[in-house]
């Protein structure tokens, strides 16, 4: 991919022309290029011109979301119908709620500058987005925790239904109190504090042992489930998960 900056508009809006495909390793090139050129003291407002972008894949969309999460205000112009469809199919179209119909760089920059001046910020609520790309999975996970009232050891078997570098969602939880060998049908997940987690992400030596905490649970009585945020995870385990997630998109 070739990345060409068309310069700043009124020192506030930068127009960047992309040439090639926003897929695979080329999407990572865009992320690296953007962050390597940033002045951290300046708010970044970027227009990406997609006129010469032939295709985009899941990793490309994930990289755009990652860039947004790092505080870059993005608008897109000259987006082809195929790429629009890919963004919509990914369920990420709400991230790019304003794709300018303007084909001219200066006109698009003028619109963006007016928007930033009037609103003071872009309209996307970044606090509701996940920082890291998340993929669907289906692998077993072992969970250990202590019963808050009794300090009894609780051992759980579950299925991890999705995964990111920051956490996962588990369901189909089967729990047993090891003190009296009693099966537990309902758990107050949020009151258990820290969980000990053990799982294998690829079935080929990719074993991860770490801690986590419950950050939310579903309210359905039909199927227990909870979102777990990783805690105190070694960097090499974070890198294993990051590579696993990005390889998923590449493949």
Q: How far is the C-alpha of 116 from the C-alpha of 169, rounded, in Å? A: 36
pLDDT at 197: 94
Q: Report the residue count for the chain.
A: 251
Q: Which domains does the chain have, with CATH numbers?
A: 2-128 (3.30.750.24), 135-250 (2.40.10.220)
Q: If the chain, 251 residues long, is cut into consecutive pieces of 10 residues, what is the mean pLDDT of each piece?
A: 80 85 83 66 74 89 82 86 87 78 82 75 43 78 84 89 87 86 70 85 81 76 73 89 79 58
Structure tokens at 250: 């590449």
pLDDT at 141 (0 to 100): 95
Return the number of other C-beta atoms located less than 10 Å from residue 237's C-beta: 17
Compute the distance between CA of residue 66 and CA of residue 64 in angstroms, rounded to an integer: 5
- d(CA 196, CA 146) in angstroms, rounded, equals 10
d(CA 45, CA 113): 9
pTM score over 0.75: no
The residues near 8 (Cβ < 8 Å, ≥ 6 apart) are 14
Q: What is the pLDDT of residue 122?
A: 44
87: its two tokens? 């963004």
* pLDDT score recorded for residue 157: 92
Q: What stretches of 57-148 adopt beta strand conformation (E)?
A: 73-77, 99-100, 135-146
Query: Which residues have a Cβ under 8 Å from the Cβ of 55 and sit 6 or more positions away?
Result: 21, 22, 23, 82, 83, 86
Max Cα-Cα span within the chain = 72
């Amino acid at each position: 991919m070739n990345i060409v900056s068309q310069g700043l508009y009124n020192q506030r809006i930068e127009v960047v022309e992309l040439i090639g495909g926003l897929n695979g390793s080329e999407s990572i090139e865009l992320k690296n290029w953007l962050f390597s050129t940033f002045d951290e003291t300046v708010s970044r407002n970027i227009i990406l011109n997609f006129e010469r972008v032939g295709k985009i894949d899941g990793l490309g969309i994930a990289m755009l979301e990652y860039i947004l999460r790092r505080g870059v205000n993005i608008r897109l112009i000259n987006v082809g119908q195929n790429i629009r469809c890919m963004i919509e199919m990914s369920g990420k179209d709400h991230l790019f709620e304003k794709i300018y119909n303007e084909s001219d760089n200066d006109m698009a920059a003028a619109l963006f500058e007016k928007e930033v001046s009037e609103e003071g910020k872009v309209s996307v609520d970044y606090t509701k987005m996940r920082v890291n790309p998340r993929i669907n999975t289906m692998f077993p996970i072992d969970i250990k925790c202590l019963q808050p009232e009794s300090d009894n050891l609780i051992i759980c078997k579950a299925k991890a239904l999705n995964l990111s570098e920051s956490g996962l969602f588990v369901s189909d939880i089967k729990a047993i109190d090891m003190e009296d060998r009693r099966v537990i049908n309902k758990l107050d997940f949020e009151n258990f504090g820290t969980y000990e987690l053990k799982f294998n992400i690829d079935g080929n030596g990719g074993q991860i042992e770490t801690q986590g905490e419950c950050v939310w649970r579903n309210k359905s009585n039909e199927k227990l489930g909870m979102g777990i945020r990783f805690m105190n995870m070694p960097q090499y385990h974070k890198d294993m998960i990051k590579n696993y997630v990005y390889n998923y998109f590449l493949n």
